[in-house]
């Protein structure tokens, strides 16, 4: 019995000894870990906790029109995130469940998912998919919660949404890599961009981890001067003109003359900011498939350019009102002065022609503007001399940027003649808008100073800036850059410019009941000696009402396919914009003019006009016409210009053909189907333009039997 107790005691002692040794070993290891490796392990443990640093995106500010209609806004989207550190805290079957869920819900390959799950280094933040729609994100969050999916969560993000696709695309611009790339998106990028927030952990004194959350500061929003409705009017009219005339470029600007606020600005071709890198709409599919990436990039860079502020051209006759205004202001001429145009003026040994080869005869200042007489402008320029001419050219803003709040405005300093280089020939040609260049926005801003009382305003497209709480933090007020001419001079030129529309080259812009003034312009491009290489840029500036201008419209068609219609192309375009814009802005018709519309019409001067220009004016006066001769240029007329005649009076137009063009007879297509008319006219090398909706031809202009140049346009009225 005693022997057995001794054995038990020995065993217990051995166990106790082992236990004691074990405790001492553990104490030793803990001490070793704490004292020798403790700092290293502690840093590693804390480091793993600190890995969770989540960026909370700030919303980019919205963009609104002047009436606070939404144009651009950020939509909430989600990024799908995999957290393999958290996932590995669970059993293998949870891994399988997570992989199956992600594969089924988002079609992510299982191989890709298992690579993340089985990686040697696990991560808290692996983005699997970006910009998941709000609806799908909400559903996914519910599924994760209901199915108890481990290691998956959704990060909130935002996606820029341009509500009207290409509407005002050159003004608005687009965003790339989170930054503005063009338009106001670039110009006001610092205002639109917010400051991201953070959700992260820090190691605090006392060896513990603190969770931190920094609220994002959302970007400010822009309220533009653009009016969504007027922008629609402009773009619809431009698209119609593009389909009819196929210009290389087309653009339009609508502005408030007294403030410089841009109500609409459009440039074609344009782009969709939701897909700014897409050029498929610009070329046919066959061409697109053969384009290199370099060619696509070059095309995109051209399309992204805003024609209104980057393109330079010879302004032509739209510059003439500035010359007249400067001469009147300096008392160099008076409204009663007259000039004689015989079709050209000799400047030194050089003959410089007027556009009307047989001359305008005696012209008053008003008639010189109405008829766009180059010789009268040369005479006025010569009287001014180069010092005064150059001073006013600069005062009206030529040779300098306008300061519009859009990126990419062309630096125009080298686009005009220096004063010392203004010889007699340069002064003569500059006086009617040739041999120097300007941008469309420069021409419009200068023209505005002529009609608004003489103030050169800074054009702008942003009206106000508001913060994310809707509080106004900045307002762009009207900025007068300088006073150029007096109110008296401005009034005199305004009234003279009304004659351009009532009886001059801008008749196509007339709208019954409204007092409209304006000026046409034709800039010549390419060879001036070779007609085959000659191209034109047609423009028109119109404003209303004449007595107190509330709106000004500038339209341009650059290198239209067919120039036989002349300025009618741009005056008609301006009229279509004005017909909708004036009533929309609440501008009332003038009763006096409505009474005048009831009076007997006066025959205008059609000599040297394109045939279609003359026909359009004749029919608008409810007169009849008959063509005598062959061709598309009017060389004589009966009755004479200025004759008052009853409605339905027959006006005879004597025409001649161009030097290098064939003459064809216009066939009768009245009563034919649209398809039949198209076939017949094309066989005669004529260009049909269809008006109205319907299947059969109700009327045509010019009438059947008229002999015109090949390639002439025939207006076809359709009815159902």
What is the Cα–Cα distance from 510 to 644, expressed in whole angstroms? Answer: 19
What is the Cα–Cα distance from 504 to 54, expressed in whole angstroms? Answer: 68
3-state secondary structure of 638: strand
Tokens of 400: 């300098």
What is the Cα–Cα distance from 482 to 445, expressed in whole angstroms? Answer: 12
Tokens of 711: 């390639």
Cβ–Cβ < 8 Å for 287, 328: no
Cβ–Cβ < 8 Å for 514, 544: yes
Compute the half-sphere exposure of residue 689: CA atoms within 13 Å on the CB side of its CA: 18
Looking up tokens 């696509």 gives 296
Cβ–Cβ < 8 Å for 227, 66: yes
Q: What is the maximum alpha-carbon separation in the chain?
A: 154
Helices (H), 305-439: 307-310, 320-329, 365-370, 374-395, 424-431
221 flagged as catalytic: no
Q: Which of 158, 166, 169, 317 is catalytic?
A: 317
What is the Cα–Cα distance from 164 to 93, expressed in whole angstroms? Answer: 48
What is the Cα–Cα distance from 559 to 177, expressed in whole angstroms? Answer: 36
Cis peptide before 3 (omega within 30 of 0): no
User: In sequence order, which residues have a C-beta less than 8 Å from that of residue 475 and are 6 or more positions away?
Assistant: 463, 464, 465
Looking up tokens 């240029």 gives 633
3-state secondary structure of 534: coil
480-485-488 Cα angle (round to 5):
120
User: In sequence order, which residues have a C-beta less than 8 Å from that of residue 382 and are 6 or more positions away?
Assistant: 424, 427, 428, 431
Phi, psi at 654, each rounded to 5°: -95, 125
Phi, psi at 239, each rounded to 5°: -60, -40
Residues identified as active-site: 317
């Amino acid at each position: 019995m005693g022997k057995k107790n001794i054995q038990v005691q020995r065993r217990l002692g051995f166990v106790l000894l082992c236990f004691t040794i074990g405790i001492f070993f553990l104490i030793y290891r803990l001490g070793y870990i704490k004292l020798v490796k403790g700092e290293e392990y502690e840093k590693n443990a804390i480091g793993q906790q600190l890995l969770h640093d989540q960026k909370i995106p700030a919303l980019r500010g919205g963009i609104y029109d002047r009436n606070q209609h939404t144009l651009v806004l950020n939509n909430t989207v989600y990024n799908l995130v995999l957290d393999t550190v958290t996932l590995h805290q669970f059993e293998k079957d949870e891994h399988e469940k997570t992989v199956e869920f992600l594969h089924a819900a988002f079609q992510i390959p299982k191989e890709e998912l298992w690579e993340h799950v089985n990686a040697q280094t696990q991560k808290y933040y692996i983005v699997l998919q970006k910009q998941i729609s709000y609806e799908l994100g909400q559903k996914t969050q519910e599924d994760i919660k209901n199915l108890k999916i481990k290691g998956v969560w959704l990060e909130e993000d935002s996606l820029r949404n341009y509500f009207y696709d290409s509407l005002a695309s050159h003004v608005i611009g687009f965003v790339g890599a989170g930054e503005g790339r063009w338009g106001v998106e670039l110009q006001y990028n610092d205002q639109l961009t917010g400051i991201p927030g953070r959700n992260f952990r820090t190691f605090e004194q006392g060896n513990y981890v603190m969770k931190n959350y920094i609220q994002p500061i959302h970007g400010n929003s822009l309220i533009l001067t653009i009016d969504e409705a007027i922008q629609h009017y402009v773009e619809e009219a431009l698209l119609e003109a593009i389909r009819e005339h196929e210009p290389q470029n087309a653009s339009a600007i609508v502005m408030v003359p007294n403030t410089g606020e841009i109500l609409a600005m459009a440039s074609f071709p344009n782009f969709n900011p939701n897909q700014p890198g897409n050029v498929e709409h610009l070329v046919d599919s066959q061409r697109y498939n053969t384009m290199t990436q370099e060619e696509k990039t070059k095309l995109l860079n051209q399309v992204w350019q805003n024609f209104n502020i980057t393109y330079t051209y010879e302004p032509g006759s739209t510059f003439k009102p500035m010359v007249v205004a400067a001469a009147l202001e300096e008392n160099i001429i008076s409204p009663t002065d007259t000039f004689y145009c015989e079709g050209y003026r000799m400047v030194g040994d050089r003959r410089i022609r007027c556009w009307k080869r047989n001359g305008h005869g005696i012209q008053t200042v008003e008639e010189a503007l109405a008829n766009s007489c180059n010789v009268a402008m040369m005479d006025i320029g010569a009287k001014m001399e180069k010092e005064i001419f150059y001073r006013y050219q600069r005062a009206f803003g030529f040779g300098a940027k306008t300061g519009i709040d859009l990126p990419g405005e062309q630096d125009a300093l080298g686009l005009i003649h220096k004063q010392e280089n203004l010889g007699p020939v340069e002064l003569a040609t500059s006086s009617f808008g040739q041999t120097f260049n300007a941008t469309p926005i420069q021409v419009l801003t200068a023209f505005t100073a002529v009609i608004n009382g003489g103030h050169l305003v800074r054009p702008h497209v942003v009206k106000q800036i508001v913060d994310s709480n809707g509080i106004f933090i900045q307002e762009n007020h009207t900025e007068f850059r300088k006073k150029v001419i007096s109110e008296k001079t401005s009034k005199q030129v305004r009234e003279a410019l009304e004659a351009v529309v009532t009886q001059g080259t801008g008749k196509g812009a007339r709208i019954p009941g409204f007092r409209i003034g304006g000026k046409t312009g034709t800039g010549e491009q390419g060879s001036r000696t070779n007609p085959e290489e000659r191209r034109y840029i047609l423009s028109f500036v119109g404003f209303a009402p004449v007595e107190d201008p509330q709106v000004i419209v500038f339209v341009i068609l650059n290198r239209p396919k067919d120039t036989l219609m002349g300025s009618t192309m741009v005056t008609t375009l301006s009229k279509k914009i004005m017909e909708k814009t004036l009533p929309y802005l609440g501008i009332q018709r003038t009763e006096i003019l409505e009474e005048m519309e009831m009076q007997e019409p006066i025959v205008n001067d059609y000599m040297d006009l394109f045939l279609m220009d003359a026909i359009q004016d004749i029919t608008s006066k409810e007169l009849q016409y008959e063509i005598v001769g062959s061709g598309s240029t009017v060389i004589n007329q009966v009755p004479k210009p200025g004759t008052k005649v009853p409605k339905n009076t027959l006006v005879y137009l004597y025409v001649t053909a161009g030097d290098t063009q064939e003459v064809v007879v216009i066939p009768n297509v009245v009563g034919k189907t649209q398809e039949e008319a198209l076939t017949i006219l094309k066989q005669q090398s004529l260009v049909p333009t269809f008006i109205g909706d319907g299947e059969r031809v109700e009327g045509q202009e010019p009438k059947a039997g008229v002999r015109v140049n090949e390639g002439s346009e025939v207006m076809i009225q359709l009815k159902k």
